[in-house]
Chains A and B, each alone.
Chain A
């Protein structure tokens, strides 16, 4: 079980991407749609899985929040205030 949010987010993103790339190789500043080809459906799957793994309530976020999460870094920043995990 990873102990930091960033690592957890990378692992969960890798899970939803078609080729399951190495989580370490994922760039937190790259656009999730343009670079990683993540669909709207995959994006919410990613957030759902990450919230579950990080023990963050999904009800903390709205569709507008989701739309603002353009990069992996944005997602981590959005979860951090609500996460018991450090990182």
Chain B
């Protein structure tokens, strides 16, 4: 394989002019990546003084901020592993530290007096970065060693933990670079949580190839884009849909498309990146016609970036061709299977029994569970998702089936189907048992289900269907499975009405 990017960026101080900007509403910090590297080294020295070193695991539970990425690079420099936790999904408590075997946890969450001794405010990293550096023992990561644990939605409700190999990170970065040629003058904007490893890829890319990187939060992204003037924006469909609606309002007011786009995204966009969930074809067309090329790709946490449309090979409706080092096979059931030269891993580190075997197959193959087809030129088309996944606008994924099953298993309802009409939370449409509807029992079941669910899975309202779902009324398949789209169509008004239904307390 070509040079290891990870090993190069920890060993060599950047000799290019690339810069990092961390910004949000009301604040902005910019520094050369060479200075950032120096500060990360100072943090690495501070971690070593605290007894953290090779083989240890550093938890990071924080919103995007400079200290997050300083810690990430510092951990790489001392061969410690990181575990990035999404804020709001995890709490900085003893349970987290014990469950994920953390040697230290840095967090921006307030720490109470009885907080575990291994939990520390992430703000202390800013002070560490100012301290003098000492020589660090040189380290080298092997291709099959894992720099980080990433977390992905689990079938049991608890996130599955997956360790990512250096080989998969290096391979993905080299592959993406071969398609998009990020270079000095580029500024890649990332705003999704840094707990998602792929968002940190762009820092590694900047350190290695010398382009700029800007890190912000999804709360601030629209506020900072016009002044940051990125050339590349790493987004998800819900983000681009929101931006499209805003741009359409501007166009309706008579603003020229190019001017409207520049007012929202800045005036230097080279291309837009979307992935993580299927993009709406009309949204993709809108951007391409507005002069903002947008490229959709496909991949899972377990496979990393697998296919990608790009300037050299772009086919509408597809998610692109496989990246170098990836191979797609459609199995006999039409399921997309991905073989990687450098797999992310061959099993989960933290998962329910059977989860790893269902996903990871021999020979570096991952059976995605998604249905797809390849055309004669090797472009992949995703035809359906085997699991019903709701992707929120901040890229959080919720697998709804386990929650629906939990509700049905209370016995209070015959069936349950979940929707996400607004960020207020999930809305359930339930099929009552035949006969008089027992709203008290359904309300109790709602409380029980919410108590057993993760914060993101909380159901805020329950709409009780006017009649049970049946095959005859068109709401169940012949195998008696609820038909999600028809149920949504029939109860759309109540799903969208925030005052309708039984509310959670």
Contacts and interface: CB of A to CB of B under 8 A. Distances in A.
Interface of A: 15-16, 18, 33-35, 37-45, 47-49, 58-63, 65-67
A27 to B, nearest CB: 12
A63 B220 contact: yes
B223 A40 contact: no
Nearest to B242: A41
Contacts of B242: 39, 41-42, 45
Contacts of A62: 24-27
Chain B residues touching A, majority SS: mixed
Closest A-B pairs by Cβ, 8 of them: A37-B422, A62-B26, A41-B242, A44-B222, A45-B222, A63-B25, A39-B423, A39-B393
A40 B394 contact: yes
A61 B26 contact: yes
B212 to A, nearest CB: 21
A39 B423 CA distance: 6
Nearest to A60: B26
A58 B218 contact: no
Contacts of A47: 223
Contacts of B239: 41
Range, interface on chain B: 20 to 34
B474 interface: no
B466 to A, nearest CB: 24
A28 B10 CA distance: 52
Contacts of B217: 63
Contact of B238 (A38, A41, A60, A63): A41
Interface string B217-238: 1111111000000000000001
A60 to B, nearest CB: 8
Contact of B498 (A34, A40, A43): A34
B393 A44 contact: no
Q: Which of B25, B219, B239 has the most CB of A within 10 A?
A: B25
A37 B423 contact: yes
Contacts of A39: 238, 242, 393, 422-423
Given A45-B242, A58-B223, A59-B26, 13 more contacts: A15-B246, A18-B245, A35-B498, A37-B496, A39-B423, A40-B394, A45-B246, A58-B25, A60-B26, A61-B25, A62-B26, A63-B25, A63-B26
B24 A63 contact: yes
A43 B422 CA distance: 13
A48 B249 CA distance: 14
A44 B245 contact: no
Nearest to A67: B219
Interface string B417-453: 0000111100000000000000000000000000000
A61 B27 CA distance: 9
Contacts of B496: 37
Nearest to B263: A52
Nearest to B28: A59
Interface string B17-54: 00000001111000000000000000000000000000
Contacts of B223: 44, 47-48, 58
B246 A16 contact: yes
Contacts of A37: 421-424, 496, 498
B480 to A, nearest CB: 32
A43 B198 CA distance: 26
